[in-house]
Amino acid sequence: MGKGQASVELLVVLATGLIVLIAVFSYTNQSVAEINNEKLVETARSSVNTLKDAANDVYSQGVGAKKQVFFVVPQGTSPASSGIIGQSIVLNLLGSDVFAKTNTALNGQIPTTPGGHWVWVTAFENYVAVGTQNISIDKTSSYVTLLQNDSKQDTITITNNSTENATVTITKNWSHTNVTLDATPLSFTLNSGAQQTINLTYASNPAAGNYAGTLDISATFPTIPTENISLPLNAEVTVTQSRIIILPITYSVSLQAGGTNSSNFQVCNNSTTTLTSISFTKTGAISTWISPEPIPPIASLNAGQCQTVPYTISVPPAQPTGTYNGEITATDGTNSDSIAISVTVVPTPPFLSNVDVLLFSDSAYTIPKTDFNQSSTVYYEVRTFDQDGSPLDVSDLNITVTDPASTLMQRLEFLSTIEGKYQGSYSLSLTAPTGAWTVTADANKNNTVSDSNNFTTVYYPFLTDVRVLLFSNSSYTTPSTSFQQGNTVYYEIQTFDQFISPLDVVDLNVRVTDPSSILRQELVGLSTTGGKYQGSYALALNAETGSWTVSSDANKNNTVSDFNNFTVTPAAECATQAICFSHAWNSAAFTCVSGGPTGGRYCQLSQSAPFWSVQNTAATTTLTVQRIMVSWTGDTDGDTTVDNIVIDNVQRNTASTGTGVWNNITDFSMTPGQTFSANNWLRWGGSGNSGKMNNETETYTISFEFTDASVFSTAAYNPP
């Protein structure tokens, strides 16, 4: 029963923990989603405000003013619920409207697909066109002049620029009784690409004056949002007939200091005869702002005809804000009329004039640097300035980082600067390409400006791999992890950089430990050459059997270690054949024959008993000798080659050899325990000097090489 209760309690604890984890995970996901949504809303708010400011700006400048702005539609925008609504620019984001209201009516269509779009805004007489205009008209206004009890006609043409048929409804906002207005047709269907002419008829009674109104045009489509245009109307009723009439009679525009505006007016012959030599004069505070100078005269103007006169207003660059007035008067010397012009100089909005990209080595952005090691971090700061050189905040900053091959490694879009600064970073990898990298930034605020800066990435040697290899031979060519007591373990340490290329280090450490973890060898502060260090450890004959370890660690901007294990087994009866071989000189004597014929002279070690002896000391191992080397020192007048090597009364050599030279004898074997103690001798013979070997200064050594390449060398011997 106790075990059952414990199991239930454990399940309760686990369930409670799982509930807590789910709650934390859900809260974290919710927090991340809320942050992302806030960023989307901020992007939408910035977009509609930027477009609103541009619309207000061109409207204040007057008819014909236009500007292009970058409009960003964030993810999550509903195209069906977004667009131009009255005086508002609306983006329906995540089910809620983000909007900005302008100072005038709007016409057109904004982009609603996610991403960045360039959008034009253009000022007309009574509204601002934004983006795509599906419905357009050929005039910005309708102006007529009438005499008392007179009538005049005017026309406007409406064009359907869309791909859908439009239903057009026209509403007259004309409340005057002294001048009536008739407009036909007031409703119709306008096919895609088609045009419709609207006829306007003005009729006056005896009341003179100026009468104004609007013609409101509404176009609806099957899928495209409704568009509305308001066309200004103006009728001027004069008491007496003026022979020269200028239309319009007034013009006003808002410009920045240094700004320009091009417009025109019409000079009309309101008589029944031809007018000649019509000249123009400019007066008022803005007279010098108007060009051309002079305005070209009209040589002849037929009765009932009008001629368009273009002109440009250029505000001086340093002109203070305020309203300035002037007139242009047309006269033929007898008749005259004028247009009153009002220019409002408005403050110049800030625009982006300069972008600077600066590079630093620290996260405080205080240490300028243009060369960086692989694996380091590049800190960049982008600064944005207005036309006066003051910091300017922007909200559509873009930054790219490209490597020496122009491969894009980082791209950040629609960033914002704070107090004219954006600070970011890019972390170089250990294997980052060396050479010239580029950080590029571009931004827009009423002007697009870009800048770039280069930095150089240099090779940064970084230890990434250490390898311990084990061999059984001193030439390090035969890998092995199995050794016997008495063997020598040859180890090679290899060091590599981040590109897996050999890397030299100067603080390599090597340790050899036995199966009991007792340190048997420690070497510190070693250096690799060509990325290698070769060393060895000689196992004692009684070395502990089992698994041994060779470990190594090194550092070059990074610490890396490795190890390899080898197994030690009990030594064979003869770890090497040389170990089980013995030799004794036995006071062997040196005998020489120095007289008689040259060919019969010789010296021999030994010629008669006692002979030197050799023995196989093993109990079960057969030894095989494959080479013998006889060495002697101290001889100044004797023979230079040994001619006979006899062991157990058998000559083993077939050629003579000099001192210290291996003689490839005929292999011979010794069975376990076998001893050769008689008839073992060396002879120098067959020359004039053969009998001069023993001058009691020579010392002799015999070396035996076995088939396992082990070597046994006798003690040095000076015979009696």
pLDDT, position 688 = 64
Residues 6+ apart with CB under 8 A from 519: 511, 512, 513
Closest CA to 156 of 107, 202, 200: 200
Residues 6+ apart with CB under 8 A from 38: none
Alpha helices in 62-178 (DSSP H): none
pLDDT, position 8 = 47
Mean pLDDT for the stretch of residues 95-101 = 90
pLDDT digits (tens, 9 = 90+) for 244-272: 999 899 999 999 899 999 999 999 998 88
pLDDT digits (tens, 9 = 90+) for 37-68: 887 888 888 888 888 888 888 787 777 777 77
- DSSP class of residue 376 equals -
Give 6's pLDDT tier (boundaries 50, 70, 90): very low
pLDDT digits (tens, 9 = 90+) for 309-367: 999 999 999 999 999 999 999 999 989 999 999 999 998 888 899 999 999 999 999 99
Tokens found for residue 63:
């008819």
pLDDT, position 624 = 97
Instruction: State how far the Cα of 371 lies from the Cα of 311, in Å rounded to an integer.
Output: 57
Mean pLDDT for the stretch of residues 195-207 = 90
Residue found under tokens 């002294």: 178
Q: Is the pLDDT of residue 537 over 50?
A: yes
3-state secondary structure of 87: coil
Mean pLDDT for the stretch of residues 697-704 = 91
Residues 6+ apart with CB under 8 A from 174: 180, 181, 213, 214, 233
Q: How far is CA 16 from CA 7, 10, 20, 28, 692, in A?
A: 14, 10, 6, 19, 105
Between 167 and 162, name the one with better pLDDT. 167
3-state secondary structure of 29: helix
Q: Is the pLDDT of residue 24 over 50?
A: no
| Residue 279 φ/ψ, nearest 5 degrees | -115, 170
pLDDT, position 583 = 96
Q: Is the pLDDT of residue 169 over 80?
A: yes
**CA 410 centroid distance within chain:** 3
pLDDT, position 397 = 96
3-state secondary structure of 328: strand
pLDDT, position 25 = 45
Instruction: State how far the Cα of 689 lies from the Cα of 426, in Å rounded to an integer.
Output: 86
Instruction: State how far the Cα of 110 lies from the Cα of 91, in Å rounded to an integer.
Output: 9
Tokens found for residue 359:
């590079």
Residues 233-244 as b/e (b if ≥16 CB within 10 A, e otherwise) read bbbbbbeeebbb
What's the mean per-residue pLDDT of the chain?
Answer: 89
Closest CA to 254 of 53, 446, 65: 65
pLDDT digits (tens, 9 = 90+) for 429-466: 999 999 999 999 999 998 999 999 999 999 999 999 99
Q: How many Cα atoms occupy the beta-carbon half-sphere of 48 within 13 Å?
A: 25
